[in-house]
Structure 1
Amino acid sequence: MYIPELYKNENQEEIQHFIHQNGFAVLINQTNGKLWATHIPLVLDLNESGKQILVGHVSKLNPQAESFKTNDEVLAVFSGAHAYISSSWYDHENVPTWNYLAVHVYGKVTIYNHEQAVNSLKKLVDKYEAKSEKPVRVEALSEKTMREARGIIAFEIEITAIEAQKKLSQNRDDKNYKNIVSELEKTNDNQAIAVANEMKENRK
C-alpha cells in the first residue's frame, strides 16, 4: 500500500486496537491464477511462541480454501471509518480529498486440524458474543449443529508485515483542521462523525 510518510501509522498499540475493532476483513490471495478475495472476520491472537497471528476460516467450497495448500501468501485488508472532505471547508482554494483509516496485514497461512478449528471458532464466537444479553457458547452447541464445522477450513496467518495508514488531514493547519472536524460533525453521517472523532483524538 502506498503511504505518504505523513500518514504512516507505526504505533503498534493503535494498530492492534484498530484490528480488534475492525475485524471484518478482506482476505486476498492468488487462486487458480487470478486474484481472489473473501470477506471474513479475522481475530488477532498469539501463537504458542508469543508471535502475533490472525485466525479465521472459510468454507471448504470456497476455491480459496484449496489454494492455501499451494499458495500460502495472503493479504488481509482491514478498513475503518472514511469520509469525503470538501475543499469548500478550507479558507483557501484546494482540491477535495478523502480521509480514512486502513491496515494491510501480509502473512503466510497454516491450515488447522479439526480440533484447532473448533478452538478458533470458540475464540471468534466468544469475541462477538461478549456484548450479547444471552451469549451463545460453542461448547453448548449440540453435536448435530457442530457437524457444520466439518464444512470449513480454519487457519492461522503468520504475520510477516503490517502497513497502516491514518489519513486525517494532518497536512492542514489548526484553523482548517478544526473546521474540517466541525463540518464532518454537521453531516449526521456515522462514518463522517467517526472520522471527526479520530481527527480530534489525533490532534489533541
Structure 2
Amino acid sequence: MYIPKQYRMNHEEAIQMMKSNPFALLITVDEHRPLATHIPLEIREEDGKIYGTGHIAYGNKQKKTLENNSDVLLIFQGAHAYISSSWYEVEEVPTWDYLAVHAYGTARIISGDELKSALDTMLKHYESHRENGRLWDTFDPELLESEMKGIVGFEIEITSIQAAAKMSQNRSDTDYKSIVGELETSNDQEEVQVAQWMREQRKGLFK
C-alpha cells in the first residue's frame, strides 16, 4: 500500500485500529487466483508478537491456502469519508479520507483444544458484557462439537504492517476546522467518526 510519510500510522495506532475494527478481509492466492473472505478476527499481542485468530467455513476453498502460508494479507478498514473541496478556502479537487491497515503474515491451521480456546476467547469478547451472554460453557457440548466440524480455524502471525491514516493532515487549520464542522453535521456515522478522529489530532483548534 502506497502511504506518503505524512499519512503513516505508527505501530501502536495500527494495532489498536485492528483491535477496534476486527471485521477484516482475509486474502490468499490459490494457483495465481486471489481468494478473499470477510471474517471477524481476534487480535492479540504475546511475547512481542501479534497474532490474528479466526475461522472460516469448512466448505470455503480458501482453507487449502492457510496451512503454513507465509503470504497471507489481512485488510482492516476504519472510518472513511468523502471530503468535498467546497469546504476549502481555495479551489482544489475533492478527496477521500480514511483509516486502513494492511497486515501481512504467516498462517497455520488450528484445531482441537487450540481451536476451542480461540472460539471461547471470541465468545468472551462479544458476549461477556451482554445480559445472558452466550459463553462457551452455556452451550450444549454436543452442539459445539457438531458446529466445530463445519469450520476451519487458523492463526496468523503478523510479521509486517502497513497502516495509513489519510485524514486531511495536509490542510490548513482553517480548512481542517471546516472539514470537521461539515462532517459533524452528517447523518452518516462513518463521517462523524472521521470528524471525531480529526478533532483528537488537533485538539487545540477546537477549544
The percent of aligned pairs where both chains have the same amino acid is 43
Shift of 1:32: 4.0
**Aligned residue number for residue 36 of structure 2:** 37
Taking the aligned partners of 1:33 and 1:101, their CA distance within structure 2 comes to 29
Structure 2-normalised TM-score?
0.93
Q: Deviations over 1:8-41 (max 9, x none)?
A: 01141x2222111100000001024300100000
Task: Tell me how far apart the structure 2 counterparts of residues 130 and 178 of structure 1 sit (CA, whole Å).
Answer: 39
Between the aligned partners of 2:200 and 2:11, the Cα distance in structure 1 is 14
The equivalent residue for 1:170 is 169
* Per-residue deviation, residues 77-117 of structure 1 (Å, max 9, x unmatched): 00011100000000100010001101111000011121111
Unaligned runs of 5+ in 2: none
CA contact (8 A) 1:30 1:71 kept: no
Kept in 1: contact 2:68–2:106 (CA 8 A): no
Tell me which residue corresponds to 1:8.
8
CA contact (8 A) 2:69 2:108 kept: no
Q: Paired residue for 1:104?
A: 102
Structure-2 separation of matches of 1:46 and 1:166: 22
Match of 1:138 among 129, 136, 139: 136
1:98-146 CA-partner distances (Å, limit 9, x unpaired):
0110111100001112111111001111111133122111122112310
Q: Hey, what does 1:77 align to over in structure 2?
A: 75
Pairing of 1:55-74 with structure 2 (within 5 A): 55-69=53-67, 71-74=69-72
**RMSD in angstroms over aligned alpha carbons?**
1.4
Residue 70 of structure 1 deviates from its aligned partner by 6.6
Report the CA distance shift for 1:50/1:4 in structure 2 as closer, same or farther (over 3 A): closer
Distance in 2 of aligned mates of 1:69 and 1:188: 44
Q: Distance in 1 between matches of 2:147 and 2:98?
A: 37
Unaligned runs of 5+ in 1: none
Distance 1:67 1:127 in 2: 27
User: TM-score when scaled to structure 1?
Assistant: 0.94
Bigger shift: residues 156-165 or 143-152: 143-152
Is the Cα contact below 8 Å between 1:24 and 1:39 reproduced in 2?
yes
Q: 2: CA distance between counterparts of 1:197 and 1:87? A: 19
Q: Residue 126 of structure 1 is aligned with which of 115, 124, 127?
A: 124
